[in-house]
């Protein structure tokens, strides 16, 4: 009979996990379809034992797991993404337990229902992922008004989006905090509506204030471990200039790395030394996270960057300095495909 108690405990565990996931889908991700899928799953789990026959086996006060669980710090969560993965794990483990217990009791058909629910939960988990990866795209646009021949960052953002750019970084080295904040608030609105990833360079406070998708930092900025603590749900990009830095970035949990400078450029002050193309080639063969080539990339040399393993190409002056950004991006794409 204790096996029924095990099933009862796991039905509660699974239902509670699903309830948390349903709430995240509804209130955090604001995704109605996902929330509905989870709710349906929860109802199936609950209704498969409708006659409350399992209630008599419930003995949660005497559950030896309760004390352990209440004293444990192992389940401390830092971010919504941690909460999501912990609860999917809980749901999947619970479903597995029920599945096996039902088999012992000879309920093979019922056990299949729980197996199917477990597989469904793997699919749903993929849909839940909070944006932590770069979009599968080509050009990574970076803003900078001092290189834009008079156009504002807002105008440039709109032109980039018209050209189907899927990721835009705000990088201003000389503006006041207040001006940067105003710019970023406006750009966040435009990028959100157009489903474009918005990354802020350097200023974590601004990235957090405007709810950017990510933050990009350099080697001399705040250490990535600290940034990850502060901005745990954000995409974190780190500039790297040699193999050691690239390996360290992966180890410390960067979501992507900048690789450069590929060529000489006057856009960045105090440009780091880098064996551009051969470093990029090495990264393309040895680094498992996304990598963005940067530094002096133009329409005229982008094919060479691609030949050396480039997949994402970041550009400032070549894009923002163009009279017609859409036309420029189309010309660049012709060199890539
Ligand atoms: N970072 P442009 S090179 C911002 O090597 C930046 O990490 C670099 O500008 C790095 O496309 C660079 O105008 C400047 O050359 C890129």
Residue 203, domain CATH: 3.20.20.70
- Binding annotation: 169-173, 201-202, 221, 239, 265-268, 296, 316-317
Check residue 4 and give its pLDDT.
86
For residue 260, the ligand 1 atom closest to its alpha carbon is 5
**Weakest-pLDDT range from 39-43, 155-159, 311-315:** 39-43
pLDDT (mean) for 22-48: 87
Distance between CA atoms of residues 84 and 78, nearest Å:
11
Task: Answer whether residue 59 shows pLDDT above 60.
Answer: no
Distance between CA atoms of residues 74 and 321, nearest Å:
51
Sign of the CA dihedral running 189, 190, 195, 201? negative
Check residue 34 and give its pLDDT.
85
In the listed set 87, 108, 128, which residue is the last one of a domain according to the structure? 128
**Weakest-pLDDT range from 121-130, 157-166, 300-309:** 121-130
pLDDT (mean) for 286-291: 91
Angle, in degrees to the nearest 10, between helices 153-162 and 177-193: 20
271 C-alpha to center of ligand 1: Å? 8
Check residue 60 and give its pLDDT.
52
Name the average pLDDT for the chain. 90
* Cβ(153)–Cβ(187) below 8 Å: yes
- Percentage above 70 pLDDT, the chain: 90
Residue-by-residue DSSP string for 9-55: HHHHHHHHHHHHHHHIIIIIS--HHHHHHHHHHHHHHHHTTTT-TTG
Check residue 3 and give its pLDDT.
87
Is there a single domain that holds both residue 179 and residue 77? no
pLDDT (mean) for 100-116: 90
Check residue 77 and give its pLDDT.
58
> Which residues have a Cβ under 8 Å from the Cβ of 273 and sit 6 or more positions away?
241
pTM: 0.73
Find the catalytic residue in 42, 180, 228, 268: 268
For residue 240, the ligand 1 atom closest to its alpha carbon is 7
* Cβ(104)–Cβ(10) below 8 Å: no
Check residue 160 and give its pLDDT.
98
Is there a single domain that holds both residue 163 and residue 311? yes
In the listed set 128, 163, 191, which residue is the last one of a domain according to the structure? 128
> Which residues have a Cβ under 8 Å from the Cβ of 334 and sit 6 or more positions away?
none
pLDDT (mean) for 102-110: 88
- Is 267 close to ligand 1, i.e. is its CB under 6 Å away? yes
- pLDDT category, 301, cuts 50, 70, 90? very high
Find the catalytic residue in 166, 171, 180, 328: 171
> Which residues have a Cβ under 8 Å from the Cβ of 196 and sit 6 or more positions away?
161, 165, 166, 167, 168, 190
CB atoms within 10 A of CB 293: 30
Task: Answer whether residue 163 shows pLDDT above 60.
Answer: yes
Higher local confidence (pLDDT), 131 or 230 = 230
Task: Answer whether residue 12 shows pLDDT above 70.
Answer: yes
- Is 283 close to ligand 1, i.e. is its CB under 6 Å away? no
pLDDT (mean) for 162-173: 97
Bridge partners (DSSP) of residue 169 are 142, 199
- Is 265 close to ligand 1, i.e. is its CB under 6 Å away? yes
268 included as an active-site residue = yes
For residue 201, the ligand 1 atom closest to its alpha carbon is 4
Is there a single domain that holds both residue 170 and residue 304? yes
Is there a single domain that holds both residue 83 and residue 191? no
Higher local confidence (pLDDT), 50 or 96 = 96
Could you give the maximum distance between any two Cα atoms of the chain, in Å?
A: 78
Distance between CA atoms of residues 17 and 41, nearest Å:
11
Check residue 32 and give its pLDDT.
79
Find the catalytic residue in 111, 121, 148, 239: 239
Distance between CA atoms of residues 24 and 28, nearest Å:
5
CB atoms within 10 A of CB 18: 28
CB atoms within 10 A of CB 185: 13
- pLDDT category, 127, cuts 50, 70, 90? confident
Higher local confidence (pLDDT), 130 or 66 = 130
pLDDT in tens, 67-83: 555 555 545 556 788 89
Is there a single domain that holds both residue 186 and residue 300? yes
- Is 201 close to ligand 1, i.e. is its CB under 6 Å away? no
Most informative mutation of 264, 265, 292, 322 for ligand 1 (most atoms within 8 A of CB): 265
171 included as an active-site residue = yes
Task: Answer whether residue 52 shows pLDDT above 60.
Answer: no
Distance between CA atoms of residues 177 and 181, nearest Å:
6
Residue 133 lies in a domain: no
Is there a single domain that holds both residue 157 and residue 212? yes
Residue-by-residue DSSP string for 60-127: GGG-HHHHHHHH--TT---SHHHHHHHHHHHHHHHHHHHHHHHHHTT-HHHHHHHHHHHHHHHHHHHH
Distance between CA atoms of residues 168 and 64, nearest Å:
52
Residue 303 lies in a domain: yes
Nearest Cα residue to atom 16 of ligand 1: 295
- Is 310 close to ligand 1, i.e. is its CB under 6 Å away? no
pLDDT (mean) for 254-279: 96
269 C-alpha to center of ligand 1: Å? 9
Check residue 63 and give its pLDDT.
56
Count of structural domains within the chain: 2
* Cβ(263)–Cβ(301) below 8 Å: yes
Is there a single domain that holds both residue 304 and residue 160? yes
Pairing, β 235-240 against β 312-315: unpaired
Distance between CA atoms of residues 302 and 280, nearest Å:
13
Task: Answer whether residue 65 shows pLDDT above 60.
Answer: no
Check residue 123 and give its pLDDT.
86
96 included as an active-site residue = no
Q: What 3-state DSSP class applies to 239?
A: strand
pLDDT in tens, 169-194: 999 999 999 999 999 999 999 999 99
Is there a single domain that holds both residue 168 and residue 267? yes
Nearest Cα residue to atom 12 of ligand 1: 295
pLDDT (mean) for 204-221: 96
Check residue 50 and give its pLDDT.
56
For residue 263, the ligand 1 atom closest to its alpha carbon is 15
Is there a single domain that holds both residue 98 and residue 212? no
**Domain membership of residue 193 as a residue range:** 139-336
- pLDDT category, 119, cuts 50, 70, 90? very high
Residue 134 lies in a domain: no
């Amino acid at each position: 009979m204790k096996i029924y108690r095990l099933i009862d405990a796991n039905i509660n565990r699974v239902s509670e996990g699903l309830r948390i996931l349903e709430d995240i889908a509804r209130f955090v991700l604001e995704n109605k379809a996902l929330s509905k899928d989870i709710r349906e799953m929860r109802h199936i789990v609950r209704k498969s034992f409708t006659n409350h026959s399992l209630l008599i086996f419930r003995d949660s006060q005497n559950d030896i797991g309760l004390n352990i669980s209440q004293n444990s710090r192992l389940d401390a969560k830092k971010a919504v993404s941690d909460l999501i993965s912990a609860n999917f794990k809980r749901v999947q483990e619970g479903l597995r337990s029920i599945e096996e217990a039902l088999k012992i009791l000879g309920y093979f058909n019922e056990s299949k229902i729980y197996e199917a629910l477990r597989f469904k939960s793997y699919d749903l988990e993929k849909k839940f992922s909070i944006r932590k990866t770069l979009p599968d795209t080509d050009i990574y646009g970076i803003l900078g008004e001092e290189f834009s021949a008079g156009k504002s960052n807002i105008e440039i953002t709109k032109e980039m989006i018209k050209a189907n750019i899927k990721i835009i970084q705000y990088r201003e080295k000389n503006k006041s905090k207040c001006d940067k904040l105003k710019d970023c608030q406006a750009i966040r609105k435009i990028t959100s509506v157009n489903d474009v990833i918005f990354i802020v360079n350097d200023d974590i406070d601004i990235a957090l204030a405007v709810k950017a998708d990510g933050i990009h930092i350099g080697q001399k900025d705040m250490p990535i471990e600290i940034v990850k603590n502060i901005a745990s749900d954000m995409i974190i990009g780190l500039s790297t200039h040699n193999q050691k830095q690239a390996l360290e970035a992966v180890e410390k949990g960067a979501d992507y790395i900048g690789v450069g400078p590929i060529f000489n450029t006057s856009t960045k002050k105090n440009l780091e030394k880098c064996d551009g193309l051969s470093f990029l080639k090495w990264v393309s063969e040895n680094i498992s996270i996304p990598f963005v080539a940067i530094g002096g990339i133009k329409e005229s040399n982008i094919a060479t960057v691609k030949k050396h393993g480039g997949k994402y190409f970041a550009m400032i002056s070549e894009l923002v300095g163009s009279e017609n950004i859409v036309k420029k991006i189309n010309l660049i794409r012709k060199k890539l495909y």
